[in-house]
């Protein structure tokens, strides 16, 4: 089972071109690590936490990435025992997600669980 996140970018009203947005998939096995980082709600359930555009995620994602980078041992303790997902992959995924949010702050967040 996995979490799928999409950032839907509206076409440019002038030229009609659409940015690539974001299409990310991550295992639910990393939910405890996300919770430890304080971002489970906004990543897994943004609509239940008042998040509907990518720009709203920028600061919480930055804070989580900083916490994870500064204390890897704390977060590696939540690596899934079954080996599906890990600290390194989740951190990279969050960095990619943050980069997309910064590039497309007005994009709409869509989640499939």
* 112 token code pair: 């499939």
Cα–Cα nearest to 94, from 73, 63, 70: 63
| CA distances (Å), origin 26, targets 5, 13, 15, 70, 103 | 9, 32, 33, 22, 20
Tens of pLDDT along 5-37? 999 988 777 777 677 789 999 999 999 999 999
Residue 39 has pLDDT above 80, yes or no: yes
For the chain, give the percent of residues with pLDDT over 70: 96
Tens of pLDDT along 70-81? 999 999 999 999
Instruction: Please report the pLDDT score of residue 21 as a whole number.
Output: 83
Residue 44 has pLDDT above 70, yes or no: yes
> Which residue ranges make up each domain of the chain?
2-112
Instruction: Please report the pLDDT score of residue 77 as a whole number.
Output: 98
Q: Taking the model in full, what pTM does it have?
A: 0.92
Residue 100 has pLDDT above 80, yes or no: yes
């Amino acid at each position: 089972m996995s979490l799928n996140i999409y950032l839907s970018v509206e076409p440019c009203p002038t030229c009609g071109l659409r940015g690539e947005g974001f299409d990310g998939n991550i295992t639910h096995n990393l939910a405890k690590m996300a919770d430890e980082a304080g971002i489970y709600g906004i990543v897994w359930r943004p609509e239940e936490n008042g998040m509907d555009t990518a720009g709203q995620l920028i600061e919480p994602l930055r804070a989580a990435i900083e916490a994870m980078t500064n204390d890897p041992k704390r977060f590696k303790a939540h690596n899934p025992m079954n080996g599906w997902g890990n600290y390194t992959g989740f951190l990279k995924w969050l960095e990619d997600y943050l980069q997309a949010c910064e590039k497309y702050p007005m994009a709409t967040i869509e989640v499939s669980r």
